[in-house]
Amino acid sequence: MSQTSALVCKAEGIWFAYRQTQWVLEEINLQVPTEGFLTILGPSGSGKTTLVKILAGLLQPQQGRVELLGSPIVKGTGLDPKFRQRIGYIPQQLGLVRGITALENVLLGALARMPGPLPMLGLYPKDEIDRALGYLDFLGIADKAHEQVYRLSGGERQRVAIARTLLQNPQIIFADEFLSDLDLPRAVQILSAMRDLARREKIAFVVNLHEILLVQKLGSEVVVLKEGRIVRRGSAREITTALSREVFK
């Protein structure tokens, strides 16, 4: 297998500005291998959310190119629609429907894969319901399956959003600060479980985080952003306490 075919995401020479010449990202180059687990680490305002949106095909850069699942994101047209359902995205705001149950929210992840009107009416095959319940159990909230989302805690909602994305059957998941409402031990537990799941189900993950202790415990590959530029990259073990002081000062 060639190096290119082993990559699920590739970015080359990315520059992005919301306002002309006020660059949020500058000369970003990175690669995500199939089944890889990449953490983007950086302080608030470093460009992490913007970068994840560009990698996921939700924003298009002024300069550079992104390739997802072997297909280039063409400027002006975006990603080929046939690839969209294979790309999961967990936003910071989660995007859940507050007035329906946790289980019903998770099942929304199956909509793009299921033809016919029944799923639109909330009627799903038993195997999809079982899978949805299985992911809620995997994430430790099986007992909340039939609770309406507005009754859940912030951390429980985050786990519902993760389960919904997993039910989508993606090849790559982009997640933007999606564990911010969890304490460190629970966040480590969930990220470690997701990393194991990624290996088992051959899913790549790109995760935005600002908590360096969480990154060190996770042990993933890391790129560090500061002021829109990648200033370090390597394993979590190489992101030392001294480096964290330098980058987050």
The reply to whether 213 and 118 lie within a common domain is no
Stretches in the chain below the pLDDT threshold 50: 1-5, 242
Q: What confidence score (pLDDT) does residue 28 get?
A: 94
| Co-location of 7 and 82 in the same domain | yes
- Residue 80 shares a structural domain with residue 191: yes
pTM for the model stands at: 0.83
Would you state the pLDDT for residue 243?
Answer: 59
For 169-223, the pLDDT digits (tens) are 888 999 887 777 677 887 887 787 777 777 887 889 898 887 777 777 776 788 9
User: Is the four-CA dihedral 156, 165, 187, 190 of positive or negative sign?
Assistant: positive
222 and 162 in one domain?
no
State the residue range of the domain holding 120.
Answer: 98-169
pLDDT of residue 191: 80
pLDDT score of 2: 39
Six-digit token string for 130: 């079982």
In the chain, how many domains are there? 2
d(CA 120, CA 143): 25
| Widest CA span in the chain | 56
**Looking at the domain assignment, is residue 93 inside a domain?**
no
The pairing of strands 63-68 and 7-19 is antiparallel
Q: What is the pLDDT of residue 118?
A: 67
For residue 219, the model assigns a pLDDT of 64
Query: Count of alpha carbons within 13 Å of 19, Cβ hemisphere only?
Result: 1
The pLDDT score that the predictor gives to residue 4 is 44
Same domain membership, residue 178 and residue 76:
yes
Domain co-membership, 65 together with 185: yes
Last residue of a domain, one of 114, 140, 169: 169
